[in-house]
Amino acid sequence: MAMLNRARRLPFFAKTPTLIPMSTMNISLPEALKSFVDEQVSQGAYGTSSEYVRELIRRDQDRLRLRGLLLAGAASAPADPADTAYFEGLRDRVRKTASVQE
């Protein structure tokens, strides 16, 4: 039953069986960090320390992707200001799209 409850808390992609080949990586942690990871696992948020580390790596990948997008946006040419006229035009386009779909 405990396994079933844990499976319900997992995101959808984690519930879907996958055949992704796994590699093994050994890491060394100071005792304080190992204790922290063990605590996260024991609280039921993660099934194993490997799941916890994989989640951290995924979050870091997302952070790096977001950083790249932000840097690309900062390096791009300035856009028109998002003033009242911009938002009115946006509302008009949404209304027109909504009326066509009805």
What is residue 9's predicted lDDT score, i.e. its pLDDT? 61
What is residue 100's predicted lDDT score, i.e. its pLDDT? 79
* Cα–Cα distance measured from residue 51 to residue 41, given in angstroms and rounded to the nearest whole number: 9
pTM: 0.58
Q: Report whether 65 contacts 54 (CB < 8 A).
A: no
What the block records as the tokens of 80 is 């028109």
Instruction: List the chain residues with pLDDT less than 70.
Output: 1-18, 102
What the block records as the tokens of 31 is 């005792």
